[in-house]
């Protein structure tokens, strides 16, 4: 079995979603996590997945939206995460590529989510784009100030420096369809060096479709193509990679076990 650890199921229409889920099941994708990007949207996710025992969600504010409403307090995030279907906090982090929110606001939002994850005892899904140094610095500062928290660098496509910083903090890494792109050889080299017990796979659907579907609208069924490449990189069979990433998912997202 494979688990799509990060997708956006609410980006499909209600008419489309049953077929998306059916294709995922046929591809051996047994569970999916649909991700919160604003507080308002996060609050709607449990109703979206109601009746599907294999679907989970998170609650959080994406850095693109950090400036659009008051930053949620750690206590508010932890409160929202008490819902039975909410298994993580996020996605939150820093995005200096698009810079849709002021960087100081992004940082304040990111720190609130770290503290909310620690308070809730749940992992944090981190969005990191062109902000590696600041991501690493904030992770270290928050760990030193407040203690341990679990985190996942979602859709990892950053530098080796950030990978090493995250490994030193016992972070997890989720790889998306970017891993399959021809020009991603450096990323595949990094994936080869990450501890096996820290690897997960995802789609970030409907974005970032893997080869051979690059350029099309992504969906959870296609996480199998990313898993195939990751298995090749690590010298594992596809069933071994599936068992490994599923075990890692359950260790990190303990509420979904």
Domain-wise residue ranges, the chain: 2-256
For residue 257, the model assigns a pLDDT of 78
List pLDDT tens digits, range 234-243.
999 999 999 9
Question: DSSP letters along 69-116, please?
Answer: SPPPPHHHHHHHTTSTTEEEEEEEEEETTT--S-HHHHHHHHHHHHHH
Q: Specify the CATH architecture of the domain 2-256.
A: Alpha-Beta Barrel (3.20)
Label the pairing between strands 151-153 and 172-175.
parallel
Q: Are 125 and 58 in contact (CB under 8 A)?
A: yes
List pLDDT tens digits, range 129-168.
999 999 999 999 999 999 999 999 999 999 999 999 999 9
The per-residue pLDDT of the chain, averaged, comes to: 98
List pLDDT tens digits, range 17-46.
999 999 999 999 999 999 999 999 999 999
Predicted TM-score (pTM) of this structure: 0.97
Those residues with Cβ within 8 angstroms of residue 133's Cβ, 6 or more apart along the chain or in another chain: 161
């Amino acid at each position: 079995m494979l688990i799509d650890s990060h997708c956006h199921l609410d980006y499909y229409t209600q008419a489309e979603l049953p077929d998306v889920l059916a294709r995922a099941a046929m591809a051996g994708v047994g569970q999916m996590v649909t991700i919160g990007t604003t507080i308002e949207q996060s609050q709607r996710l449990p109703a979206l997945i109601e009746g599907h025992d294999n679907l989970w969600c998170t609650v959080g504010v994406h850095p693109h939206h950090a400036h659009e409403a008051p930053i949620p307090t750690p206590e508010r995030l932890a409160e929202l995460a008490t819902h039975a279907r909410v298994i993580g906090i996020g996605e939150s982090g820093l995005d200096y590529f698009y810079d849709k929110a002021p960087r100081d606001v992004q940082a304040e939002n990111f720190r609130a989510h770290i503290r909310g994850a620690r308070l809730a005892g749940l992992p944090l899904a981190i969005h990191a784009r062109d902000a590696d140094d600041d991501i690493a610095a904030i992770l270290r500062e928050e760990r030193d100030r407040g203690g341990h928290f679990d985190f996942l660098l979602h859709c990892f496509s950053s530098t080796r420096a950030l990978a090493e910083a995250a490994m030193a903090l016992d972070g997890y890494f989720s790889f998306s369809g970017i891993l399959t792109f021809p020009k991603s050889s450096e990323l595949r080299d990094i994936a080869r060096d990450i501890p096996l017990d820290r690897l997960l796979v995802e789609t970030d659907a409907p974005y970032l479709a893997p080869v051979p579907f690059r350029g099309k609208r992504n969906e959870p069924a296609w996480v199998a193509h990313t898993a195939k490449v990751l298995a090749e990189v690590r010298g594992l069979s596809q069933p071994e990679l599936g068992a490994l990433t599923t075990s890692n998912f359950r260790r990190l997202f303990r509420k979904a076990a």
